[in-house]
Amino acid sequence: DIQMTQSPSSVSASVGDKVTITCRASQGISSWLAWYQQKPGKAPKLLIYAASILQSGVPSRFSGSGSGTEFTLTISGLQPEDFATYYCQQGNSFLITFGQGTRLEIK
Amino acid sequence: EVQLVESGGGLVKPGGSLRLSCAASGFTFSSYDMNWVRQAPGKGLEWVSSISSTGSYIYYADSVTGRFTISRDNAKNSLYLQMNSLRAEDTAVYYCARDGSSGWPSFDFWGQGTLVTVSS
């Protein structure tokens, strides 16, 4: 199976800050990567697919980049509603795997 | 409006069985691959199983292979997960999720989840 490793596991930031979360794959996955946001007690929400394509309705302060084994999710100008847990997910293999999650907390 | 509504969760003893259902509406169900994803309490997301739009292709995570069976009824706009030989580590919220309409392997709509608790 392809292992996905996110860093950091948690990060503290303030409203207005820029935050970057990294996701590394144990083998190359081209651009078969998606990012999700999850708030407590809620289902995950798709933010980005194909590593860098913003899902419809997602604010432009979210952006994704990378290919191969290293990917990043960047949130520019944090808003109060962005404090949540973020997950990456690879779709290169039929055996889909998620990263362990990154918790974004208010400083 | 796309809606996915799971049902069938509950408390079951180790070794027992449970069948989850997911009722879909607001889109052409028969055109989309569908998935089950679970989340143990306080833990991350774990993909469980996928089924193609016609049911011809099915995949399972290693952790559930041989115990869980995914199926669908396109006439009823419904997705199912039959879970047998349940273990304590299967305790989780189970979500059904639709494959993204973009064609890229991602999940663009999710249900609210149904909780499965395996305990004696």
pLDDT score recorded for residue B105: 87
pLDDT band at A93 (very low <50, low <70, confident <90, very high): confident
Say whether A94 and B59 touch across the interface (CB within 8 A).
yes
pLDDT score recorded for residue B60: 97
Examine the pLDDT at A87 and tell me if it is beyond 90.
Answer: yes
pLDDT band at B16 (very low <50, low <70, confident <90, very high): very high
C-alpha A97/C-alpha B37 separation (Å) is: 10
Say whether B102 and A94 touch across the interface (CB within 8 A).
no
pLDDT score recorded for residue A78: 96
Examine the pLDDT at A89 and tell me if it is beyond 90.
Answer: yes
Query: B102 to chain A: which residues are within 8 Å by CB?
Result: 49-50, 53
Long-range contacts of A47-55 (CB under 8 A, 24+ apart): A47/A73, A47/A86, A48/A73, A49/B100, A49/B102, A49/B104, A49/B106, A49/B108, A50/B102, A50/B104, A53/B102, A53/B104, A55/B108
Q: Cα dist. B37→A81, A106, B8, B28, B48 in Å?
A: 24, 28, 15, 21, 5
CB atoms within 10 A of CB B120: 9
pLDDT score recorded for residue B103: 80
pLDDT score recorded for residue A4: 98
C-alpha B69/C-alpha B37 separation (Å) is: 13
User: Which of B73-77, B80-84, B100-104 comes out lowest in average pLDDT?
Assistant: B100-104
Nearest to B67 by CA among B52, B83, B91, B50: B83
Q: Chain A to chain B, count of Cβ pairs less than 8 Å apart?
A: 65
Q: Nearest C-alpha of chain A: how many angstroms from B62?
A: 9
Examine the pLDDT at B75 and tell me if it is beyond 90.
Answer: yes
pLDDT score recorded for residue B100: 87
Query: What are A6-60's pLDDT values in tens digits?
Result: 999 999 999 999 999 999 999 999 999 999 999 999 999 999 999 999 999 999 9
pLDDT score recorded for residue B120: 96
Residues on chain B bordering chain A, Cβ-to-Cβ distance under 8 angstroms: 35, 37, 44-47, 50, 59, 61-62, 95, 100, 102, 104-108, 110-113
Do residues A106 and A13 touch, judged by C-beta distance below 8 A?
yes
pLDDT score recorded for residue B104: 85
Say whether A98 and B104 touch across the interface (CB within 8 A).
no
Examine the pLDDT at B64 and tell me if it is beyond 90.
Answer: yes
Query: What are B83-103's pLDDT values in tens digits?
Result: 999 999 999 999 999 998 788
CA B39 and chain centroid, separation:
11
pLDDT score recorded for residue B101: 79
